[in-house]
Structure 1
Amino acid sequence: MQDLTITHVKREKGSFNMEEKHYHEQYEIYYLLTGERNYFIDKRSYHVKKGDLILIDKNILHKTTTINKKNPAHERILLQFEENSFNNLKSEMKTAQLFSIFKANKSVLNLNPEQQLWLEEKLFLLLNEKYQNNKAEHKLSLLIKFIEILIFIKRIAGSLVKENIIHPDQKHENISQIATYISQNFTEKLSLTRLAKQFNYSPAYLSRAFKEVTGFNFVEYKNNVRIKEAGKLLQQTQLSITEIASQVGYNNITHFGRIFKSYTKLSPLEYRKLKQI
């Protein structure tokens, strides 16, 4: 039985920054117990507060940053898991469309107080089960509790109105537009100076604002988008590494290889061999 990857409840104080590369092949569920955060997902940011539930699909770029610098403390429960965690139940879960919650364009769910209480109770039971011994009965109990949570999320997601797409403020909306532009035009020669001129900002202001809203600096975000696409091409096509480097915006294959390895810990050739097995 494949184990679930579940982090413990953790209170984080001060400024907490995720690693530069932050997308992964696991689904992720993030529940904020206390505090508030800015959560950047794919191409836009959300103001996340106590009781909000965040759903992250596989291979989606995401990062959280502090909103209240005077009181940055927050507490979260973070769950990451792969589909093969449920191999023995996979057909039933697909029939029930439980994984569809990550693809329904509802990244942030605002739970009412009753829903918050139910979910928090279940999450703490789940975490308590995780720290028991590794007997088969505990692993089975862990899976059952987790599936119950997925069913709960699917039901409430279906009953909630369409996701609130209002941005926290105008700056967040503008930066989200720029992030979208980068994601759609990453093969071009994109520079901070060029984008600043195109969107009528000074380079210094755009650099600060982009980092504040997304949690990434401009180069980090551009490289993440490019390397994520390169990984997909390495897995799904027979294009040469030189061709892939060119298609994702790198004209120098040595530079591409160095950047790719810094984000994935593997060379492009090693990545292709590993992922195509």
Structure 2
Amino acid sequence: MAEKVNVSLRNRSFYIDYSRGYENSRDMQHYHLHQDYEIFYLLEGEKVFLIDGKKFVATKDTIMLIDKNILHKTIVNDHKYQRIVLNFRDCFLLEDDQILLSTLFKRGPLMLSVKNPTTCQKILEKMLEEYFLDNPSSDRYLQLLLSQLLIECERLIHSQTSTLEHSKATCNQHELIDGMITYINERFHQDITLSILANKFYLHEQSISKLFKQSIGCSFTEYLNAVRITEAKRLLTETTLKINQITKKVGYTNHVHFWRIFKKFTSMSPNDYRGQETDKCKRLIDKV
């Protein structure tokens, strides 16, 4: 499905962002996935989502609900779009509201049309305000607002049951792939093989390979490399570690192999990538 996969590894359990198309209007070059749930609200314009082999065209006042560890990308049709996107992990949601996750996310990607947008928009606007306020009680307030937003989405589902678009993946399959992805994301710097995963999750190696292809759209090896290269790019940008140190830190034992995989994902060598990112930082500093 995708030759390259970008993996987002956020440190925060809740994230929200507002953007206008003319500020950031490029298509996603590659499919990506992240280990948190995503809620995308389109305030204006049009946005195309490619998810699980399906195409979703979102228009004004549309909400997209995307489960964690689902491969997806967006295409820009309208450069005047405005959107709010938020991501959160299970641990951020209040315990009593965990049941909402199966209704809203485990059925596959859902596209909901908001008939009365005022309520949802007010919740999202308050989330943005609270997120950047960084008050000691902000997380608690954001949790309550998130619960309110999810309840509004649940009500939308009940009113649009006959028109909802969703994938056919089973919950059991997704729970398995979710567990494997979590395992890889936490241990990518170690030696991880199909054999190790098979023993850990009590599955045959061929079954795991098939599950990765069906659920994510890439192979086990491609996903593992994507996670490792994502971390390598961060270390090249944010640290002064030598290339051979980074090679070992992200789980590769062979420097030549790391160089080859890195170039496959980025079309440049680790040294060239570090130089490019350093130049970008210098240009930004010069502008200030």
**TM-score band w.r.t. shorter chain:** 0.5 to 0.7
1:85 to 92, 95, 103: 92
How do 1:99-118 residues align onto structure 2 when only pairs under 5 Å count? 99-105=102-108, 107-112=110-115, 114=116, 116-118=117-119
Question: Is contact 2:47–2:75 with CA below 8 Å preserved after alignment?
Answer: yes
Write the letter of the residue equivalent to 1:162: S
Deviation at residue 19 of structure 1 after TM alignment? 5.4
How do 1:202-213 residues align onto structure 2 when only pairs under 5 Å count? none
Gap regions ≥5 residues in structure 1: 167-175, 184-226, 250-255, 272-277
Deviation at residue 100 of structure 1 after TM alignment? 2.2
> Does 2:10 align with 1:10?
no
Question: Is contact 1:3–1:139 with CA below 8 Å preserved after alignment?
Answer: no
Label 1:43 to 1:8 Cα distance change in 2 as closer, same or farther (>3 A). same
Superimposed CA distance per residue, residues 137-181 of structure 1 (whole angstroms, 9 cap, x where no aligned partner): 222111111111111111221221323559xxxxxxxxx9xxx9x
Question: Is contact 2:39–2:86 with CA below 8 Å preserved after alignment?
Answer: yes
Question: Is contact 1:106–1:157 with CA below 8 Å preserved after alignment?
Answer: no
Separation (CA, whole Å) in 2 of partners of 1:15 and 1:57: 24
Write the letter of the residue equivalent to 1:149: L
Number of the residue aligned with 1:66? 76
Deviation at residue 125 of structure 1 after TM alignment? 0.7
Separation (CA, whole Å) in 2 of partners of 1:3 and 1:247: 29
Question: Is contact 1:3–1:85 with CA below 8 Å preserved after alignment?
Answer: no
How do 1:26-45 residues align onto structure 2 when only pairs under 5 Å count? 26-45=36-55
Number of the residue aligned with 1:190? none
Write the letter of the residue equivalent to 2:198: T
Question: Is contact 1:30–1:54 with CA below 8 Å preserved after alignment?
Answer: yes
Superimposed CA distance per residue, residues 63-112 of structure 1 (whole angstroms, 9 cap, x where no aligned partner): 110224xxx231111110100113xx32x123x43442112356100111
Label 1:245 to 1:261 Cα distance change in 2 as closer, same or farther (>3 A). farther
Deviation at residue 17 of structure 1 after TM alignment? 2.8
TM-score by length of 2: 0.56
Separation (CA, whole Å) in 1 of partners of 2:128 and 2:155: 22
Deviation at residue 52 of structure 1 after TM alignment? 0.5
Give the match's secondary structure for 2:34. coil
Number of the residue aligned with 1:221? none
Write the letter of the residue equivalent to 2:105: F
Separation (CA, whole Å) in 1 of partners of 2:20 and 2:196: 37
Write the letter of the residue equivalent to 2:228: K
Number of the residue aligned with 1:237? 198
Number of the residue aligned with 2:127? 126
Number of the residue aligned with 1:161? 161
Give the match's secondary structure for 2:40. strand
Write the letter of the residue equivalent to 1:107: L
Quick one: percent identity of the two aligned structures? Answer: 24
Label 1:111 to 1:231 Cα distance change in 2 as closer, same or farther (>3 A). same
Question: Is contact 1:36–1:74 with CA below 8 Å preserved after alignment?
Answer: yes
Question: Is contact 1:126–1:142 with CA below 8 Å preserved after alignment?
Answer: yes
Question: Is contact 1:15–1:65 with CA below 8 Å preserved after alignment?
Answer: no
- The alignment covers a number of residue pairs equal to 193
Deviation larger for 18-27 or 150-159: 18-27
Number of the residue aligned with 2:265? none
Query: Pairwise CA RMSD of aligned residues?
Result: 3.9
Separation (CA, whole Å) in 1 of partners of 2:42 and 2:196: 34
Deviation at residue 262 of structure 1 after TM alignment? 4.1
How do 1:266-277 residues align onto structure 2 when only pairs under 5 Å count? none
Question: Is contact 2:19–2:84 with CA below 8 Å preserved after alignment?
Answer: yes
Deviation at residue 236 of structure 1 after TM alignment? 5.0
TM-score by length of 1: 0.58
Separation (CA, whole Å) in 2 of partners of 1:26 and 1:235: 25
